[in-house]
Amino acid sequence: MSGRDGSYQDGEPSRSWAVDEAVDEAVDEAVMSTAVTGGRRAADAGSPPTRRPKARRLRARSRRWLAVLLLGAVLGIAGGVAWALLGSRFFSVRSVVVTGTRLVPESEVLAVADVEPGTPLIRVNTARIAARVLTIRQVRSVRVSTSWPDRVVITVQERISALAVALPGGGFDLIDADGMVVRSAATRPRGLPLYSTSAAISSLRGNPDVGAAAAVLRELPRSLRSSVSSVTAPSPDQVTLRLRSGVTILWGGADDAAAKAEELAVLMPTHAHYYDVSSPTTAVTN
């Protein structure tokens, strides 16, 4: 039993003494914490402050939002471009222009090309259009291009008649260097040599003899070219020319055209009826 003087009861300290001891320990702990904190502040006084974790989190969050905004802007721009190219009438076909035609009517090229107005220009298949236009027999080559914002341009190269072939029933088929029929005519055009052959006109397409005859005519001097009335070609290296004067010239192949023309010019004053310049080093007259 303890009294008011703080004596013990059953070996335990009084409640007043326990409170005082707890207060003292709390004060001591606060003093120690203040000392440690002060020491740390003093040690760090000479060095720059370190980044706070909270500040780092804020910066990381800002970077994430910036990335999201940039991605949204890119997707928005891409969507706008896609809409403009695929959905907007501003970039759709409004006109089709045909150039390079003389024999083939422009209306025929447009009909065969079959370019649908309003088609987005980015969806125009130029290769397919060109393939359709090439089915026109007078067309030798074609180039199809798009011209932004709303135009398709079809540039045609037509076949050029090189020879005339007489038809059994009368008239002539005019063929180019590939043996393709360019057009038909009731009379042979002036200046277009007759190609003498017994072969059917349908068999002349891609014929090497026809190609050799046309190549020889292209290489002839202009004065001699205008005098040729007919051409025969039993083989590509046996092209023979017949002039309006009745003179026959065995020209041979299309090679060495300049040397052959020079040799022929030397021999022509002899007024022979037959000249063989197929080998210019051993020219023959008769």
The CATH number of whichever domain residue 278 belongs to comes to: 3.40.50
Output helix, strand, coil percentages for the chain, rounded to the nearest 5. 45, 20, 35
pLDDT confidence of residue 89 = 63
Could you tell me the two tokens for 155? 């540039």
Cα–Cα distance for residue pair 246/228, rounded to 1 Å: 10
For 217-248, b where at least 16 C-beta lie within 10 A, e where not — what string?
Answer: bebbeeebeebbebbbbeebeebbbbeeeeeb
- Final residue in a domain of this structure, among 158, 184, 211: 158
CB 268 within 8 A of CB 280: no
pLDDT confidence of residue 43 = 44
pLDDT confidence of residue 133 = 98
**How far is the first Cα of the chain from the last one, in angstroms, to the nearest whole number?**
166
Whether residue 81 lies inside any domain: the answer is no
Whether residue 7 lies inside any domain: the answer is no
Could you tell me the two tokens for 101? 């035609």
Place of tokens 């180019």: 176
Longest dimension (CA), the chain: 167
CB 181 within 8 A of CB 173: yes
pLDDT confidence of residue 88 = 53
User: Of 259, 255, 257, 194, nearest to 228 (Cα)?
Assistant: 194
- Final residue in a domain of this structure, among 120, 135, 158: 158
CB 100 within 8 A of CB 155: yes
- Final residue in a domain of this structure, among 106, 136, 158: 158
On whether both 280 and 171 belong to a single domain, the answer is yes
Cα–Cα distance for residue pair 101/42, rounded to 1 Å: 94
Q: Print the domain residue range for 110.
A: 95-158
On whether both 173 and 152 belong to a single domain, the answer is no
Q: What is the tally of structural domains in the chain?
A: 2
Whether residue 251 lies inside any domain: the answer is yes
CB 227 within 8 A of CB 249: no
Cα–Cα distance for residue pair 11/151, rounded to 1 Å: 110
pLDDT confidence of residue 120 = 92
pLDDT average per 10 residues of sequence, the chain (286 residues): 40 42 45 44 47 72 75 64 53 94 95 94 95 96 94 97 95 96 95 94 95 96 94 96 96 94 92 93 85
Whether residue 129 lies inside any domain: the answer is yes
pLDDT confidence of residue 14 = 43
Cα-trace Rg, the chain:
50
pLDDT confidence of residue 20 = 43
Whether residue 101 lies inside any domain: the answer is yes
